[in-house]
Amino acid sequence: MAKKRANGEGTIRKRGENCWEARYCYEGKRHSLFAKSQKEARKLLTEAMASIDSGDYLEETEITVGQWMQTWSRDFLGNIKSSTAVGYVGMANNHIVPLLGKVKMKDLQVLTVQRFYNRLREGGMNPKTIRNVHGVLHKALDVAVRVGYLKKNPAANAILPRVEQEEVNPLDKPELACLLKSIQGHEHEVLINTAVFTGMRSGELLGLTWDCVDFDNGIIHVKKQLMNSRKKGISYQYGTPKNGKARSIAPAPFLMKMLKAHKEAQEARKQELGPAWNEGKFPNLVFTHYDGSHLSQPSVWKIFQKMLNAAGLPPHRFHDLRHTFVVAALQAGDDLKTVSANAGHYSVAFTLDRYGHFTDTMRLKSASNMEAFHDSL
């Protein structure tokens, strides 16, 4: 009688061009995992055997989507930012598990996933959020394929709803002039000016520290953002800028002068308040409440709405100040690459796609330049 193989016992062998098979046993049954390289096959085998040793192993015929999402959330999110991981887990728990949690992985088909997205849409979820849910599900199922619970990712071929691009609503020149005049002398005047004339995101502004403001060379280094962590017991923390890219901005000289005066005023206020100065866990911030405590995005939104109301202007999102910067830079004739880099966009193509309809002034200026060039010949 053949000897029953022990749980976790495994081998690796080459099965063809760019195909390696990792085989292991569980409860007397053979299981296979496939990879493009021996190294990847060994990694998959190690993960499977570790899962068996820890008691977390579930046969692919029995594991449910809910069980897999829990395993994926716990064991496979170690290489991403904590705030991103928290967002993924929230998306899984709030949207994926309630509707797909009881479905067995072996029964998960493209049609199952498609109907799931359709139900979200019918329930009133907007297309952008559905795409975010899809991103989380797709990532989790990709890992399930790697560890052998699925042969293919059923989310890969689902059809997603079309996302209507959010309208860009910058302040026009008269509105901006009115706002900047109205807030002269306001406690947060420099914050608004910095938003308008650098295009920094709200989290980047709130996380800006004085060591990142280089007065000697006229440069602002954008290295981090202050954000709500959404983690239990932790309200706010620093994170990397969106897209994970640090950048440097060279603002107009008048803004650097404003920042320098703002720093001096802040130092004087700090001396005046003494022990009442409350910088807490976030020292050296450029923009704070009067007592030195950090600002939050909701509080900045409220401050901005009060400013607009006092100036007699219609409501705008704080993010519209960023749009104002990009549109003003494009219409002033700055090249797309520079504008894209200053704004921290992930590509010039994104900048063009998002703001291309504001470049009429650039085209007219180009025609005027060519006319002048022709006349000079």
Where does 82-164 sit in CATH, by number?
1.10.150.130
Going residue by residue through the chain, which has 377 residues, state the pLDDT in tens, using 9 for 90 and above. 344 444 556 788 887 777 788 888 776 677 777 777 888 888 888 877 777 666 655 555 578 999 999 999 988 888 887 778 888 999 999 999 999 999 999 899 999 999 999 999 999 898 989 999 999 999 999 999 888 788 899 999 999 998 776 778 899 999 999 999 999 999 999 999 999 999 999 999 999 999 999 999 999 999 999 987 665 556 888 888 887 789 999 999 999 999 999 999 999 999 999 999 999 999 999 999 999 999 999 999 999 999 999 999 999 999 999 999 999 988 887 888 888 998 888 888 888 778 877 666 666 666 666 767 657 76
End-to-end CA separation in angstroms for the chain: 97
Fold of the domain spanning 173-367: hpI Integrase; Chain A (1.10.443)
Q: Is the distance from CB of 358 to CB of 324 less than 8 angstroms?
A: no
Its pTM stands at 0.64
Domains 82-164 and 173-367 share a fold: no
Q: Is the distance from CB of 110 to CB of 158 less than 8 angstroms?
A: yes
Q: Which residue, chain included where needed, has tokens 């040793």?
A: 53
Angle between helices 65-75 and 82-91 (to 10 degrees): 170
Sequence spans of domains, the chain: 1-57, 82-164, 173-367
